[in-house]
Amino acid sequence: MARDISSLVIDSLCDQEGKVDSAVVGLYCDFLIQQEQTVTNIMGTILKQLVGRGDIPKYLREAFQEAKKNFGGRGPRLPELMEMLRKAIASLPQVFICLDALDECLPKHLPDLLGSLRDIVRESPKTRIFLTGRPHVTGDIQRYFAMAIVIPISPNMDDIRSYLEMRLGRDSEPEAMNDDLRADILRVILERTSDM
Amino acid sequence: MGDGNIHSGNITSSFNSYFYKAGEDAEVMRWLSPLEPNNRHQGVRADRFDGVGNWILQTKEFREWRSREGGADEAVLFCSGNPGVGKTYLR
């Protein structure tokens, strides 16, 4: 559900992207690859998405070439990425950063991740950050963003109705279905769901 | 609700695609990060079904967050919920 919400919000932001020339970037965190989803890699992929829209900026090419000289090439370091991110964001009218399932990051990465996002927002106050996650990360987020707006996602009757209607529409035996039965099914399931 | 899923058309965005890069440009991209979120987004949105979550886009909180120009203090919008809520729960 939260993941669906993320993809919906990302698409919705992308729809306006063309109109107001904003950039929408982000990542779906995933506990299956949480070792790889380090703060450095997450900031790296945000920068990658931002600069990937056009020609590679000179400062990035130079940083890459410099890194290649050392020990056959080392990865970018976080402070270096943050500085390049600052430049990339400054060159755009507005940036939306979307991170789904924050709780699926390794807990030890969370403070650095939120701290890095706070640094971005302090440097570029127009940047908007969209996060989803289990309720237990609310406190972590509020430690870094005291004024964060929180929307709880709970079973929403409209969502459940949409889903049921979709499933009923795909019934494999449509001849066994009629309006009364359909209405009964919706009524009973929605009643029971609202009791949960 | 009611407008169905209006966002399911082809969209071009930095989230979904960046321009194809070759040679050193491709190397620079790989150097920045091994993570490729674009494919994941395509998978998630393909599984999404129409109408779910549209209410979020209509909330005052979302609309204000999206349109607010300045204000670093309120830069963050957090949707808090368990993965078992909603779609996954009903399956």
Report if residue B74 sits inside a domain. yes
The rounded distance, in Å, linking the Cα atoms of A33 and A188 is 40
Write out pLDDT tens, residues A13-64. Answer: 888 766 667 899 999 888 888 888 999 999 999 999 999 888 899 999 999 9
| pLDDT average, residue stretch B59-75 | 82
Number of structural domains, chain B? 1
pLDDT at B9 over 50: no
DSSP string, chain B: --S--TT-S----TTT------HHHHHHHHHH-S--HHHHHHHHHHH--TTTTHHHHHSHHHHHHHH--S-GGG-EEEEE--TTSTHHHH-
> Do the beta carbons of residue A119 and residue A144 sit within 8 Å?
no
pLDDT at residue A192, as a whole number: 76
Report if residue B9 sits inside a domain. no
pLDDT at B26 over 50: yes
In angstroms, the Cα distances linking A92 to A42, A49, B17 are 20, 13, 17
pLDDT at B28 over 80: yes
| pLDDT average, residue stretch B33-55 | 79
Tokens 């009218």 identify what position? A93
pLDDT at B91 over 60: no
Instruction: Count Cβ atoms below 10 Å from residue A132 Cβ, excluding itself.
Output: 28
Interchain CB contact of A3 with B (< 8 Å): yes
Residues 19-78 of chain B with CB under 8 A from chain A are 19, 21, 24-25, 27-29, 31-37, 40-41, 44-45, 47-57, 59, 61-62, 64-66, 68-78
The rounded distance, in Å, linking the Cα atoms of B21 and A152 is 40
The rounded distance, in Å, linking the Cα atoms of B57 and B66 is 10
Cβ–Cβ gap B37/A151 under 8 Å: no
Question: For residue A41, what is the nearest residue in chain B, using CA coordinates?
Answer: B33
pLDDT at residue A178, as a whole number: 86
pLDDT at residue A20, as a whole number: 64
Confidence grade of residue A86 (pLDDT, cut at 50, 70, 90): very high
Where is average pLDDT lowest: A24-33, A116-125, B11-20?
B11-20
* Stronger pLDDT, B58 or A154, i.e. the higher one: B58
Tokens 């830069």 identify what position? B75
Range of the domain at B63: 23-90
What average pLDDT is seen over chain A?
A: 88
CA A41 to chain centre: 15
pLDDT at residue A118, as a whole number: 96
Domain at A2-144: CATH code = 3.40.50.300
pLDDT at residue B12, as a whole number: 39
* Stronger pLDDT, A94 or A86, i.e. the higher one: A86
Largest CA distance in chain A: 73
| pLDDT average, residue stretch B26-45 | 85
Regarding an ipTM greater than 0.85, the answer is: no
Q: Count CA within 13 A, CB hemisphere, residue A158.
A: 13
What average pLDDT is seen over chain B?
A: 71
Which residue type is seen at A160?
A: I
pLDDT at B13 over 70: no
pLDDT at residue B23, as a whole number: 85
pLDDT at residue A70, as a whole number: 79
For chain A, the structural domain boundaries read 2-144, 157-195
pLDDT at residue B42, as a whole number: 79
Most confident of A86-90, A191-195, B5-9: A86-90
Do the strands B76-80 and A149-152 form a parallel or antiparallel pair, or are they unpaired?
Answer: parallel
A chain contacts of residue B69, beta-carbon cutoff 8 Å: 126
Tokens 């060159």 identify what position? A91
Which residue type is seen at A139?
A: G
Report if residue B18 sits inside a domain. no
The rounded distance, in Å, linking the Cα atoms of B18 and A53 is 5
Confidence grade of residue A112 (pLDDT, cut at 50, 70, 90): very high
Q: Which of A27, A30, A31, A29 is nearest to A50 (CA)?
A: A27
B chain contacts of residue A148, beta-carbon cutoff 8 Å: 74, 76-78
**What phi and psi, each to the nearest 5 degrees, are found at residue B78?**
-120, 120
pLDDT at residue B89, as a whole number: 40
Percent of chain B with pLDDT over 90: 21
